[in-house]
Amino acid sequence: MPIFFFRNDDVNILDQELVEVTRRCTEQGVPISHAVEPANVTDEAVAWLREEKAKDPRLIEITQHGYDHELRDRGEFGGDRSFEDALADLQRGRDILLEKFDGDFLSALNFPFGIYNQNAMKAADAAGFRIICSHFNARKSRRAMYTAGRALRMGQILGKHISYNLDFYPRTGMFAVDVSISFIDRYIGPHGSNTCTFHSLDEIKRRVEMWMPHTPVIGLLFHHRFHHQPEHMELITDAINWLKTIEGAEFLNIGEVYDRFCPNPGNGFRNG
Q: How far is the CB of 190 from Zn ion (least distance, A)?
A: 14
State how far the Cα of 93 lies from the Cα of 107, in Å rounded to an integer.
12
State how far the Cα of 24 lies from the Cα of 54, in Å rounded to an integer.
17
Question: How far is it between the farthest Cα atoms of the chain?
Answer: 48
Q: How far is the CB of 97 from Zn ion (least distance, A)?
A: 15
Closest to Zn ion by CB, 19 vs 184, is 184
Q: Which residue is nearest to Zn ion (CB)?
A: 112
* Stretch near Zn ion under the rule CB under 5 A, chosen from 4-12, 93-101, 116-124, 256-264: 4-12
Element (H, E) at 13: none
The one-letter amino acid at 25: C
State yes or no: residue 125 binds Zn ion (CB under 5 A).
no
State yes or no: residue 10 binds Zn ion (CB under 5 A).
yes
Q: How many residues of this chain interact with Zn ion, rule: CB under 5 A?
A: 3
State yes or no: residue 89 binds Zn ion (CB under 5 A).
no
State yes or no: residue 76 binds Zn ion (CB under 5 A).
no
Closest to Zn ion by CB, 94 vs 243, is 94
Give strand pairing partners of 9: 223
State how far the Cα of 90 lies from the Cα of 76, in Å rounded to an integer.
11
Closest to Zn ion by CB, 184 vs 249, is 184
State how far the Cα of 70 lies from the Cα of 113, in Å rounded to an integer.
10
State yes or no: residue 112 binds Zn ion (CB under 5 A).
yes
Q: How far is the CB of 65 from Zn ion (least distance, A)?
A: 6
State how far the Cα of 152 lies from the Cα of 235, in Å rounded to an integer.
40
The one-letter amino acid at 253: N
Q: How far is the CB of 186 from Zn ion (least distance, A)?
A: 16
Element (H, E) at 132: strand 131-132
Q: How far is the CB of 112 from Zn ion (least distance, A)?
A: 4
Closest CA to 169 of 237, 239, 271: 271
Please give the residues from 222 up to 251 whose contact with Zn ion meets the rule CB under 5 A: none
Closest to Zn ion by CB, 9 vs 178, is 9
State how far the Cα of 63 lies from the Cα of 44, in Å rounded to an integer.
17
State how far the Cα of 252 lies from the Cα of 30, in Å rounded to an integer.
7
Q: How far is the CB of 232 from Zn ion (least distance, A)?
A: 18
* Stretch near Zn ion under the rule CB under 5 A, chosen from 22-30, 107-115, 161-169, 234-242: 107-115
* Stretch near Zn ion under the rule CB under 5 A, chosen from 8-16, 22-30, 194-202, 259-267: 8-16
Q: How far is the CB of 152 from Zn ion (least distance, A)?
A: 29
Closest CA to 33 of 177, 162, 138, 195: 177
Closest to Zn ion by CB, 9 vs 256, is 9
| Cβ neighbours of residue 239 closer than 8 Å, sequence gap 6 or more | 183, 201, 204, 220
State yes or no: residue 9 binds Zn ion (CB under 5 A).
yes
Closest to Zn ion by CB, 168 vs 198, is 198
CB 26 within 8 A of CB 8: no
Using CB under 5 A, list all residues that contact Zn ion. 9-10, 112
